[in-house]
Structure 1
Amino acid sequence: MSVALSLPSTRRSNLKLALVLSAFAVIATLALQPYLVMTAPAAMSKLHVPFLVIAVVQAGVPCLLLGWLGLSLGLQYGLDAPWLRAFVYHVRPEPVVRTHWRLAAFAGVLAGALAAGLAFWGPRVGSPIEGMSRAEQAWRGALASLYGGTAEEILLRLFMVSLLVWLLALFNRRQTRSWMFVLAIILAALLFGVGHLPYAFTIGMSHTPMLIGKIVLLNALVGLVTGSLFWKYGLEHAMLAHFCADLVLHVAVPLMGY
């Protein structure tokens, strides 16, 4: 997908959009707090600074810098957030980009359902949460779902996929091939899976090879779906799919009592 805008595609022109994405990431991180209190109470009790500061430092600043870099590197190869760009800069995507919101939502739900189903095979990744109703777990999980659809997509798709495609294109006279996008999506998805390990260890997951491989692959599955949507339709479709996948995992699954 290639999107041309009536706006100079300079690095400076990406800063405003990166700021908007960074603000989304900060808000989503703040919304994550009730879920962290539920799943990692010991770690949260050790925090000695306001959670807003943590949200800005750990999500806002990285998403600003890496989001800006991802936009700067990826735009030339059609990796962008065309609808947010059009909104922020008050321009229309040219040519008009077709939206596939239903496809993105369905793909996200399907990926979440598949990951949830596979999670019940073999050893359990996490421990059941005691002393909390299904409804309370669900609303906390709904808030947490915002984080995956914003911060994680900015860092792992907008930045990482764009960076990998840019690096691969360097070895081909700055010309891209389909396999470069596919490889970048796979590598970013695996990194996405690996990135979930520290949190899994924090909530008490065993350090066994099977459990480690399981959590990496289950998260990579979602990453493959969102990465493909990012490539074909833009970052917004990847965000929607990730949000829907997390709704299945963090809302539907607890409501069903699993």
Structure 2
Amino acid sequence: MAMTPPGTPVRGPHLKLALLLGAAGILAALALSPYLMALMPLKFAALPMPLWAALAAQALQAGVLCWLLGWLGLFLGARHGLDAPWLRAWVYRRPRDPARRARWWLAALLGVLAALLVIGIQRAGSPWHGIDPGAALDSAWRGALASLYGGIVEETECRLLLVSLFVWLLAWCNRRQARPWMFVVAIALAALLFGAGHLPTAFAIGMAHAPFAIVRIVLLNALVGLVTGTLFWKYGLEHAMLAHFSADLVLHVGLPLAASL
């Protein structure tokens, strides 16, 4: 059975699906909190408000952004077949298009391979430093929770919104007709912005202290973005989410545990 070609228009409403993304964004932001607290303890210690209030505000902000930006991404991408088809079928109680195949194993595998490639590039020519098993376990459970944020919030904002927006803009310049090269350009641009979005945290923890380090951070994160963006285009947002989640599990759970052996 042939798969629905990428670019086939999506019919239907978007609000309930966007609200689901918003609710998931709230939970993902709360799950990210232990990771951030360990990564930037001084920042949390200097908060001008109670910790619970800061975490609630952060989660609410993430939820609202996922809702609004998710709706916009669904709206802009609908004409060009960029969607979350499995979530849409579930939310609106509609049968899923039987011609649209799932490739969950492929998404997970590509996410893992992208993460391993990132680790390989990072470690090239650098000595492997072991860490204490107790610290590794602490880092691993925090990293496992943080992986939900990457899979949900970052994919909603950087794939669903940005890829859809760039495709929409490029198609608008071509009488609203999207061409395959436009999806490729949109995926690349969104991946670079995704990579650049990691710089503020890198600056805060002192990782981006030289031009080479800045470029490396952007490009390594963009590599994962290229993989998830392609999966979003070909199979839907859910496959991109799974790939990103799988990559983060390798980077934030598998890597510290391996370093403790």
TM-score (norm 2): 0.90
Q: 2:84 aligns with which of 77, 81, 97?
A: 81
Q: Of 223, 226, 237, which aligns to 2:225?
A: 223
Given the alignment, which residue of 223, 242, 245 partners 1:243?
245
* Counterpart amino acid of residue 64 in structure 2: V
Shift of the 192–180 alpha-carbon distance from structure 1 to 2, 3 Å rule, reads: same
Equivalent positions of 1:204-219 (< 5 A) are 204-219=206-221
CA contact (8 A) 1:74 1:166 kept: yes
Aligned residue in 2 for 1:68 = 71
Q: 2:101 aligns with which of 98, 101, 116?
A: 98
* Aligned match of 2:60: 56
- CA positional deviation for 1:50: 3.1
1:145-160 → structure 2 map (5 Å cutoff): 145-160=147-162
Residue 146 of structure 1, CA deviation: 0.5
Report the equivalent of 1:194.
196
Counterpart residue number, 1:46: 46
Between the aligned residues of both structures, percent identity stands at 58
The answer as to whether partners of 2:115 and 2:224 remain within 8 angstroms in 1 is yes
> Is the contact between residue 169 and residue 175 of structure 1 (CA under 8 Å) also seen in structure 2?
yes
* Corresponding letter in the other structure for 2:100: V
Runs of 4+ in structure 1 off by over 4 angstroms are: 2-5, 127-132
The TM-score, its normalising length taken from structure 1, stands at 0.91
Query: Once the 2 structures are TM-superposed, how far is the Cα of residue 88 of structure 1 from its aligned partner?
Result: 0.3
Task: Deviation per CA, 1:35-85: give whole Å up to 9, x if none.
Answer: 11111111222232330211111x111111111000001011010000000
CA deviation vs aligned residue, 1:116-163 (integer Å, no higher than 9, x gap):
111123689xx9988952111111110010000000000000000000
CA distance in 2, matches of 1:162, 1:97: 19
One-letter amino acid of the structure 1 residue matched with residue 34 of structure 2: P
Amino acid in the other structure paired with 2:60: V
In structure 2, the residue matched to 1:33 is 33
Aligned-pair distance for 1:25?
1.0
Q: What is the 5 A alignment of 1:117-196?
A: 117-121=120-124, 133-196=135-198
Q: Which range moves more in the overlay, 93-102 or 73-82?
A: 93-102
> Structure 1's 128 and 16: CA in aligned 2 closer, same or farther, altered over 3 A?
farther
Conservation of the 8 A alpha-carbon contact between 1:4 and 1:93:
no
Tell whether the 8 Å contact from 1:22 to 1:63 is kept in structure 2 after alignment. Answer: yes
CA root-mean-square deviation: 2.0
In the aligned structure 1, how far is the partner of 2:133 from the partner of 2:60? 31
Aligned equivalents of 1:146, 1:256: Cα separation in 2 = 21
Aligned equivalents of 1:140 and 1:61: distance in 2? 24
**Count of aligned residue pairs for this structure pair:** 250
CA distance in 1, matches of 2:109, 2:98: 25
**How far apart, CA to CA, are the structure 1 residues paired with 2:250 and 2:133?**
22
